[in-house]
Amino acid sequence: LFIFPNSGSEHVLSQPTDKSNDKLLGGLLAAGFDEASCTSRYQSYLYRKTSFYQPSSYLTSRLRNYEDLHKRCGPNTESYYRALEQLKSGQTVGSSDCKYVVWISFSGLGNRILSLASTFLYALLTNRVLLVDRGKDMADLFCEPFPEKSWFLPMDFPFIDQFESFDQKSSHCYGNMLKNSVLNASAESVPSYLYLHLVHDYDDHDKLFFCDEDQSLLAKAPWLITKTDNYFVPSLFLITSFEQELSKLFPEKGTIFHHLGRYLFHPSNHVWGLITRYYQIYLAKADESIGIQIRVFESRPGPFKHVMDQILACTLKEKLLPEVDMQDSVVTLSENPKLKAVLVTSLNSGYSENLKNMYWEHPTLTGEVVGIYQPSHEEYQQTEKQMHNRKAWAEMYLLSLTDALVTSSWSTFGYVAQGLGGLKSWILYKPENETAPDPPCRRAMSMEPCFHAPPFYDCRAKKGTDTGALVPHVRHCEDMSWGLKVI
Ligand code: GDP
């Protein structure tokens, strides 16, 4: 059961259950952090409805084990320094009790959140320690998720200043080494580090990462360094050696990002301020809230009429927004009309201006009143401005707090909101030739993100195959015919 947040100062949306369990998101979060250093970690439950999906007890116990591993092997531990010596020597001789996977900060914020969650799951599956390159703003946007030891890669890490230049042609790139026969999948020894190029432009050799045989080889390397802009989890499900563990971790298959996202990504105090102030002012008092995420992949700036038509066609047809009475008949408003709050996120302000006018100029047929709110309109994607990504993160999070969500095709920004919120959104189909598609949108099969660049390869048969047709729980995405998602 959940109650819409309509009761003024009372924000607790869930039924009264064990509060400490709610606060720790059903055991997903560890207790014992300094709360002031990251207010969002233990306050998020005040703003969210209790998830319909509980983490499995196996997942929570694996997370606690991971936290112990991270404490023992994390930055500035003896084990870390020993592994660093191995890295510098270039050899895998000598024993190191800890193995690592380093995530390079790369691409837009939505892509980063999804690729980091994928890399963390890979670390869990392979008993590696995840270390995060802080890039320009990772430390500014997120709290530390693991107790005691940081998840950030120390600034004096050997190749940290070369990360940007790591690519398919790098000498330690796994795919490149296979291609040049410097390494083969049955090799006895491997270099002390391998670079995994899992960016959307990767080639067939890089894609062998998703084969069992290659995973056995990769397991020998103490250091893996990865660059990716994708949510590659669906293809991990097709690696036989991970299958059993994944079904124990996630008995409800379509909940992976939902749980891992809520575990890993806590807004920093500054971003939490942006989120909570906005929520209190515009969303808390509404009887119902709808999020509409508009992402238009066009080179010309909008707003576009066909996109506006599509948004209206979808939200009215699916009864997410009420119709307006164009005759402007005299309607007597009830004393306490139902308030619907619509949170619009877009780089452009045109769509929300249009909606706002529509609901100001005309009454609704249902007698509801509709408030349209858009936190920012940054006009174009930016990389240098600190506030830009803080706002982007705050907006993804705010969308995830709404009761129903409409998102745009192909957008990782929308995937993050849907997954964190535990919502199956209505996905706006991607317009072609500047025409509103018909039907305008469809409901997502699951709240999982889509893997935009999956391999289509049968590792055992060594030939191409449709990886979206192998198992019932990994299918092609609603919004991208060649993408894969877990359902
Ligand atoms: P994607 O390109 O839609 O998959 O999402 P990404 O988050 O990876 O990259 C888009 C970037 O553009 C974001 O990180 C933001 O910096 C910016 N952006 C796109 N849409 C919005 C929006 O609605 N609000 C804000 N504040 N920024 C946006």
The string of pLDDT tens digits covering residues 10-52 is 333 434 445 667 899 999 999 999 999 999 999 999 999 889 9
Does 6 have pLDDT greater than 60?
no
Tell me the HSE value of 227 on the side-chain side, using a 13 A CA sphere: 23
The whole-number average pLDDT for the span 164-189 is: 92
Rounded Cα distance between 276 and 257, Å, is: 23
Predicted ipTM > 0.95: yes
What are the beta bridge partners of residue 224? 101, 194
For ligand 1, atom 22, the nearest C-alpha belongs to 346
Given a cut of 70, is residue 7 above it in pLDDT?
no
CA atoms of 438 and 406, how far apart (whole Å) = 16
Ligand 1: residues whose CB is within 6 Å?
107-111, 295, 345-347, 376, 378, 381, 388-389, 391-392, 395, 411-413
> For the chain, what is the mean pLDDT?
93
- Per-residue HEC secondary structure of 304-345 comes to CHHHHHHHHHHHHHCCCCCCECCCCCCCCCCCCCCEEEEEEE
CA–CA dist 176, 183 (Å, integer): 9
**What atom in ligand 1 is closest to the CA of residue 229?**
8
d(CA 426, CA 314): 8
Closest CA to 196 of 141, 235, 240: 235
H-state helical runs in 173-332: 174-179, 212-218, 233-236, 240-249, 256-264, 269-278, 305-317
Instruction: Tell me the whole-structure pTM to 2 decimals.
Output: 0.95
Between the CA of 187 and the centroid of ligand 1 the distance, in Å, is 42
Strands 404-408 and 288-294: parallel
Structure tokens at 73: 């092997």
294 has pLDDT over 60:
yes
Report the candidate in 216, 271, 211 with the shortest Cα–Cα distance to residue 236: 211
User: What does the pLDDT look like over 310-340, one tens digit per residue?
Assistant: 999 999 999 999 999 988 776 666 788 999 9
How would residue 300 be classed by pLDDT, with cut points 50, 70 and 90?
A: confident
Quick one: pLDDT band at residue 384, thresholds 50, 70, 90? low
Q: Give the SS3 label for residue 378.
A: coil
User: What is the three-class DSSP state of 14?
Assistant: strand
Residue whose C-alpha is closest to residue 428's, from 317, 311, 318, 312:
311
Do the beta carbons of residue 298 and residue 430 sit within 8 Å? no
Which residues lie below 8 Å from residue 382, measured CB to CB, with a gap of 6+? Answer: 388
| pLDDT of the residue at 46 | 95
The predicted-structure confidence for 114-125, as pLDDT tens digits, reads as follows 999 999 999 999
Looking at residue 23, its amino acid is K
pLDDT 10s digits, 146-159: 999 999 999 999 99
- Looking at the DSSP bridge assignments, the partners of residue 426 are 406, 443
- Mutate which of 118, 140, 294, 381 for ligand 1? The one with the most ligand atoms within 8 Å of its CB, which is 381
Q: How far is the CA of 391 from the centre of ligand 1 (A)?
A: 9
Domain ranges of the chain: 57-264, 272-449
- Alpha-carbon gap, residue 258 to 162, rounded angstroms: 33
Average pLDDT over residues 257-261: 98
CA distances from 141 to 18, 84, 393 (A): 30, 28, 8
Average pLDDT of the residues in 344-366: 96
- Please tell me the CATH code under which domain 272-449 is placed: 3.40.50.11350
pLDDT at 49: 87
Is 85 in a helix, a strand, or coil?
helix
Tokens 């795919």 belong to residue: 175
Among 33-47, 130-144, 183-197, 341-355, the minimum mean pLDDT is found in 183-197
pLDDT at 15: 41
* Virtual torsion, Cα 44, 45, 48, 53, nearest 10 deg: 120
CA–CA separation, 76 and 157 (whole Å): 11
Q: Which residues contact 101 (CB under 8 A, 6 or more apart)?
A: 119, 122, 123, 126, 128, 129, 130, 131, 223, 224, 225, 226
